[in-house]
Structure 1
Amino acid sequence: MRDDFAQEGYGVRFEWGPSGAKHLAPEVTCLVIVDVLSFCTSVSVAVESGARVFPYPWRDESATAFARQMDAHLAVGRRAATAAAPWSLSPAALRRAPFTPRLVLPSPNGSAIAAAAGAATVTAASLRNGSAVGRWLAEQGHGTVERPVGVIAAGERWPDGSLRPALEDLLGAGAVIAALREHERTALSPEAALAASAFAASVDVGAAVAACSSGRELADGGFADDVAIATELNASSQVPVLRHGAFVAAQ
């Protein structure tokens, strides 16, 4: 039976949130997760330092046990970081923290999607490495009708737990899709094409993210540095790939 919601017949597909990822994962050869503020940005910063980053859905007692099992440090909440536990979801905090070779990085959005992805290949993308991820995907042969790629904008959550589509993740996904198109991956679904157009139409991506709801929320909470790092457009050439349960730099 034809599944119209799988965007069949397209090499580059786009969806939102955990449900979108669950729906596309069995249909594609690679799933690209985009959570700009801040999971995927933090992954890019940590992987640049040489760390292995283990995604985990929740920061609770089970996360502590998982970190112990993985012989890794557990990232704490932004406001819970201390000298003894300096690693958190904040990319600015990760830049300041001492190097750790193994880090468990929980979050209910991008990290939860990555932990449950179930696709053959999973990558983490952000505005910092969108161009690099698009280029790597094309080099690996992804993004064709025969080897489709699914780009997932993680989004945020409303207080009732429902998905809140987030501008920063739309732009991050659009950056990856635009890069794929530049590398002759032109079989874009209408959803993917519009995400790429949203990115291309943004004259100042950094200003847009800083002024959007998620950016203002972080800045008002004292984490404007996280927004600044997240909008370092194409500053990173690293492509984090999920291998054996952890994101590492693609070789």
Structure 2
Amino acid sequence: MPSAFDQSRYQVRLEWGAEGLARLAPADVVVLVDVLTETTVLTDAAARGEAVPAPASLAAAIAAAGEALVLAGSLRNASAVARAALAEQHRRGARTSIAIVPLGEQGRVTVEDQFGAGAVIDALAAIGIDHTSPESAAASEAFRGLRRALRHLLTASGSGQALLDAGRRDEVLAAAEIDAAHVVPVLRDGVFVAD
């Protein structure tokens, strides 16, 4: 039975983390977004043609995705993720539901994952997949409105500051690059591979 929080009436849905994904109506495509850690690493590995076992930190979200096609999205590959979702819709020959799942960090919402989710949603809208939930629309508008300040906002965020303190500034700056990668890590048999 549908609930007020499952966003089933919308094609593009957004909820935070594995718990949030479990609240959503089942989706055909699930996009996991973790801008400063996992999905950026997965995108870079996919660009090099490497297959990467699904990180343990994504296990709960992957389990909550059920039978959905699972993609790893970030600022770096937002448009590529949107094209992969559209290709899945064409392959299926039917309207395809898409759950965008910013993962956050240690149980907290993160600004970088909000922007990454918004970038993917904005890219989906640009190719005509724009029947979005209010949650999705808010993330997209946050990304669009603050796009020019992303480098600063990512380095100033709590997660960004922790990485800067660990000497990983270049990683944070690379994660802020919009559409720098044209590959999409796709989960197949527990391994992320390039699509």
Q: Hey, what's the Cα distance between the residues in 2 that align with 1:206 and 1:200?
A: 14
The alignment status of 1:220 with 2:165, answered yes or no, reads yes
Q: Hey, what's the Cα distance between the residues in 2 that align with 1:11 and 1:179?
A: 14
Q: Hey, what's the Cα distance between the residues in 1 that align with 2:180 and 2:51?
A: 20
Deviation at 1:112, TM superposition (A): 4.6
The alignment status of 1:147 with 2:96, answered yes or no, reads yes
Q: Which runs of 5+ in 1 are unaligned?
A: 58-107, 158-162
Deviation at 1:170, TM superposition (A): 0.3
Q: Which runs of 5+ in 2 are unaligned?
A: none
Deviation at 1:152, TM superposition (A): 0.2
Aligned to 2:120: 176
TM-score calculated relative to the size of structure 2: 0.91
The number of aligned residues is 192
Residues 1-251 of structure 1 correspond to what in structure 2 (within 5 A)? Answer: 1-24=1-24, 27-57=26-56, 108=57, 110=58, 112-114=60-62, 117-141=65-89, 146-157=95-106, 163-202=107-146, 203-250=148-195
TM-score calculated relative to the size of structure 1: 0.72
* Secondary structure class of the residue paired with 2:15: strand
1:157-180 alpha-carbon deviations (Å, 9 max, x no partner): 1xxxxx210000000000000000
Point out the structure with max Rg over C-alpha: 1
> As a proportion of its length, which structure holds more helix?
2
Q: Hey, what's the Cα distance between the residues in 1 that align with 2:60 and 2:39?
A: 12
Q: Percent identity?
A: 40
